[in-house]
Structure 1
Amino acid sequence: MIKVVRIDHRLLHGQVIFAWTKSQGIERIIVIDNDAAGDDFKKMSLKLSKPADIKLSVFSVTQAKERMEKINKLKSNTMVIFGDVLQAGEIIPDLNGITEVNYGGVKNRPDTKRYSNAVFLNDEEVRSSQRLKEQGITLFMQQVPTSKRESLDALI
């Protein structure tokens, strides 16, 4: 069962591993990121950074689409993390029961607008996010479960 969907260019890091997994009782993390899936060193680093009691899978968008039926049938409490907004926009509509998406970190780039301290979106990412919003998915920005939850819906 997918409990948390997060977009964070950092993928796995202290906030994700300790705050989100503990607060949500996460047993499995699925990283969907084309760069990480195609880089053995990144995959190894992600596997080394996860707690021993949490299962980890790293997929490209294509691999995730091929496994969508299995992903949607998972019984364990699962967190899905995307490395970027556009890849998330390709997969999230196919995930069963997703009602909200946490924008945890989208890095600042020259062509982006600031939406929070950690979320910067370009025009294409805004359009992708708006499509999710139009499907009834709530978009919010929150670093850790104890920090203030800010609506992205209201800003795009």
Structure 2
Amino acid sequence: MENIVLVSHGQMAAGVKATLEMIVGKQDHVYVVSLKPDGDDRQFEADLQAEMKTLNGSTLIIADLLGGTPCNVSLRNYLEDDQVAILAGMSLPLVIEATLNTQATPAELVKAAKGAVADVKVEMSATTEEVVETTAAAPATDDLAQYQAYAGKANIVNVRIDERLIHGQVAGIWSTSLNTQRIIVINDEAAKDPLQKSSLRMAAPSSMRLSVLTVAEAAKNVQAGKYGAQRIFLLFKNPTDVLRYLEAGGELTTVNVGNMSYKEGTREVTKSIQVTEAEEAVFEDIAKRQIKITAQRVPNDPVVDFMEKLRS
């Protein structure tokens, strides 16, 4: 849909849009219409009609509650309008999916939103039983020679530093926008912690393969061509792991710095990136290897020369 209009009682719609933009960046095609606490259906209808008159093209209205005033007024006004679709049951996953997948049908959006609801404790228990490639699980006799045809030809679609590892921006935006087939989390602690591995599996899109590996194992596997022609996304927690990956024989051409949060002794490079003096030195070492380092929180944000920002 070309336009998305979020409608709700009170400030729910405004809150969902604010959270949406915190995750995926500013969305100029998403609008908000609210039933005010002291308002009624006439107030809401006037505001909705005024907003809709400013829009051109197809529009998706997402209402907070089936049978509520925002939903009912939307139906009353646009039931016969073929350019307008109306969904009820607003949720952040639904709004994110609608925003990022503009070609999705209403039925596909509903299906995706239902799939985003989970009993987290049950899911966590289930994922501990899954086979997730890790250093501990990999056979000691794994013969990497069988992948010789792909050695040195890994199809890496993104290399990202994000201390949160797999979360909304990585799982819901970057991975899907890049048609990722495998996410490889590269961090020694995560590879050796069953609880972290379970959390990562639960956070990763179910359609994507997941590997959680130590730095040394990741460098060996990727360079050996173990993942064939799969579109792989390398995910690091910090710049030190990136440097260790390179020192272990891994090859990279670019690194995207996404999120590094505030901690004692850091300074701000961008709004989402805080670095220590030690980390600055690590980035300089990486850059000396002719690797381009950029900063970009989400795909529709501008690409920033990270080293230029770091040195300014």
* TM-score scaled by length of structure 2: 0.47
Partner of 2:258: 104
Residue 13 of structure 1, CA deviation: 0.5
Alignment of 1:129-148 (within 5 A): 129-148=283-302
Q: Please, what is the CA RMSD of the aligned residues? A: 1.7
1:46 maps to amino acid: L
Residue 64 of structure 1, CA deviation: 2.1
Does residue 278 of structure 2 align to residue 117 of structure 1?
no
Closer/same/farther in 2, CA of residues 39 and 72 from structure 1, 3 Å limit: same
Larger Rg: 2
Partner of 2:162: 8
Residue 114 of structure 1, CA deviation: 0.9
Partner of 1:37: 191
Checking the alignment, whether the CA contact within 8 Å between 1:28 and 1:77 is kept in structure 2 is yes
Taking the aligned partners of 1:71 and 1:113, their CA distance within structure 2 comes to 38
Q: Kindly tell me the number of residue pairs found equivalent between the two proteins.
A: 155
Listed as ranges, the gaps of 5+ residues in structure 1 are none
2:250 maps to amino acid: L
Which has the higher relative contact order, 1 or 2, with Cα contacts under 8 A spaced 6 or more apart? Answer: 1
Residue 73 of structure 1, CA deviation: 6.0
* TM-score scaled by length of structure 1: 0.91
Q: Which range moved further: 58-67 or 119-128?
A: 58-67
Checking the alignment, whether the CA contact within 8 Å between 2:162 and 2:236 is kept in structure 1 is yes
User: Equivalent residue of 1:115, what SS?
Assistant: strand
Does residue 221 of structure 2 align to residue 67 of structure 1?
yes
Offset from partner CA, 1:60-100 (integer Å, 9 cap, x none): 1232244343357631111000011111111146333x221
Residue 19 of structure 1, CA deviation: 1.1
Q: Runs of 4 or more off by more than 4 Å in structure 1?
A: none
Checking the alignment, whether the CA contact within 8 Å between 1:72 and 1:95 is kept in structure 2 is no
Listed as ranges, the gaps of 5+ residues in structure 2 are 1-154
User: Equivalent residue of 2:300, what SS?
Assistant: coil
